[in-house]
Amino acid sequence: MATASPQSDPLYQQIAERLRADIAAGSLAAGSRLPTIRALAAQLGVNRDTVALAYDALAREGLVEATVGRGTFVRADAPAPAAFEPKLSAGVERLLELERGRVRYAAPAGVVPLHSLVPDPSLYPVDEFRRALNRVLARGGRELLSYAGPQGHAGLRQVLAERLQATGMDVAPGGLALTQGASEGIALALRLFASPGETIAVEEPTYHNVLAVLVSLGLRAAPVPMRDGAADLAALERALERPEVKAFYTMPTFHNPLGTSTPLAHRRALLAAAARAGKPVIEDAYEMDLRFAGRPLAPLAALDGAGLVVQLTSFSKSLFPGARVGAIATRGRALDGIVALKHASDLGGALVLQAALAEFVGTGGYDRHLARIRRALRERRDALLEALAAEMPEGTSWTQPEGGLQLWVDLPGGVDTAALLPEALREGVLFAPGFQFRHDHRPSSGLRLSYAQADAAALRRGVASLARALRERLRGGRAAEREPLAFV
């Protein structure tokens, strides 16, 4: 019924639009019941969440009404559109503009999901964490249901500080502030150093959501190209010399999207460049705990004698995202600033989840989980590398991560991977196209493959699908320009 590509409307909006037309035309009459979410999802071959989003949009517009246990109905009294359309702030308008270009994936059944960095739910230690939650609530429940304060649970900061000390960092529990994952850490650290209109140096490619955070804060990105898996030093020095550039955001360990790690000597050189420029470094160490091969590399924060580095860590990739717990390690006035910003953002996080994590880490559960998940990820990475070597056409290259959840593939023949995505989906695989990791969204022949959610067999199927789509494209069997995807 509709078409989808990274450039067209999100799938759920296409579904909503079709239903809107049906209601307007009377083929879905006032009072009639819409199909159940499950039934329509199966009929269209899309995710139930996508249908639920479409129904939500219609409900928000007053066209339909959900009634618990009975279903969703077309309203008899669908109101006129709201008379008042508030003027949104300039930052929010820019953010909504960016959002319109965001890739929204819908993975029909059978499609291999190599696009997502969400860790595999089948690997979450649910029962062990539930028991930790019970123990801490039984022990100290009342206090754990009050405010955490902006720095968060002291016990979790204690065990985290010990783990960070083991990487060589000089950090005390009082030097940590807990955040809602590294995500919130990014937003707080950017606000710490830069005011609207100012600029942050970022690697290119970089984590696409950092670009959204920059836009939402009215900040600009100064791209520093990645060369051989690390930020180009000369380009970094030029960027940091510019007075409007206030800090450098980097992912030196298991870079997103590249999967590469910055070598030790290069880390020291990055810090020396930052020291010469007198600009701080935001080290996003979001996957640091997921090393499954090679020798550990000291994080920037451990190499930093001067106080240049603000470091972000997270449990979201190494355990599960649902606790929404990460941490910022910093010191001095930067720490005072982070604490004040966190207080002004939401007063502090959820103490009970922080306490349960402290219990889980402190009793060895986290280390046991890391041993399991590193083994699983290493097997998956190996399967992915073998499949790439076996299936991909000549001229394709890829990175070889020693940890984390993703690697980067560069395709031959000048292929625009955003244009390839619909074809790959038809062949049965999803990936993250490279354009979205660039500050200006220009086309890219690169793509990110994640082994977070697919096991070895699925990885082999997915790579075979990707190779088929690419061969077809290289044979010129499809139009070279991006085309809409006939989806449902």
- Within positions 397 to 436, which residues make up the interface with its own copies, using CB under 8 A? none
Distance CA 123, CA 25 (A): 48
In angstroms, give the least distance from the CB of 451 to its own copies.
17
In angstroms, give the least distance from the CB of 386 to its own copies.
29
Task: Give the nearer residue to its own copies in terms of CB position, either 52 or 298.
Answer: 52
**From 87-95, 284-292, 368-376, 383-391, span contacting its own copies (CB under 8 A):** 87-95
**From 26-34, 80-88, 228-236, 371-379, span contacting its own copies (CB under 8 A):** 80-88
What residues from 90 to 129 belong to the interface with its own copies (CB under 8 A)? 90-92, 95-96, 99, 118, 121-122, 124, 126-127, 129
Q: Which of 78, 107, 137, 269 lies at the binding interface for its own copies (CB under 8 A)?
A: 137
What residues from 340 to 379 belong to the interface with its own copies (CB under 8 A)? 340-341, 343-353
Could you give the string, one character per residue 184-223, with x where binding to its own copies holds by CB under 8 A and - elsewhere? x--x---xxxxxx-x----------x--xx-xx-x-----
Q: How many residues bind its own copies (CB under 8 A)?
A: 107
Question: For residues 41, 42, 46 and 51, what is the CA-based torsion angle, rounded to 10 degrees?
Answer: 0
Instruction: Tally Cβ neighbours within 10 Å of residue 397.
Output: 12
Which of 262, 268, 217, 175 has the alpha carbon at shortest distance from 89?
Answer: 217
What residues from 297 to 316 belong to the interface with its own copies (CB under 8 A)? 305-308
Position 347, amino acid? L
Residue 247 CA from chain centroid, whole number:
21
Distance CA 182, CA 290 (A): 15
In angstroms, give the least distance from the CB of 187 to its own copies.
5
In angstroms, give the least distance from the CB of 11 to its own copies.
15
Q: Could you tell me where the beta strands, DSSP code E, fall in 130-244?
A: 176-179, 199-204, 220-227, 230-231
Residue 133 touching its own copies (CB under 8 A): yes
Residue 23 touching its own copies (CB under 8 A): no
Residue 141 touching its own copies (CB under 8 A): yes
Could you give the string, one character per residue 235-274, with x where binding to its own copies holds by CB under 8 A and - elsewhere? -----------xx---------------------------
Q: Which of 6, 175, 401, 404 lies at the binding interface for its own copies (CB under 8 A)?
A: 175
- Cβ contact 326:183 at 8 Å: yes
Distance CA 98, CA 92 (A): 10
Q: Angle, to 10 degrees, between the axis of helix 90-100 and the axis of helix 208-216? A: 150
Give per-residue burial for 27-51: e unless 16+ CB within 10 Å, then b.
ebeeeeebbebeebbeebebbeebb
Position 189, amino acid? A
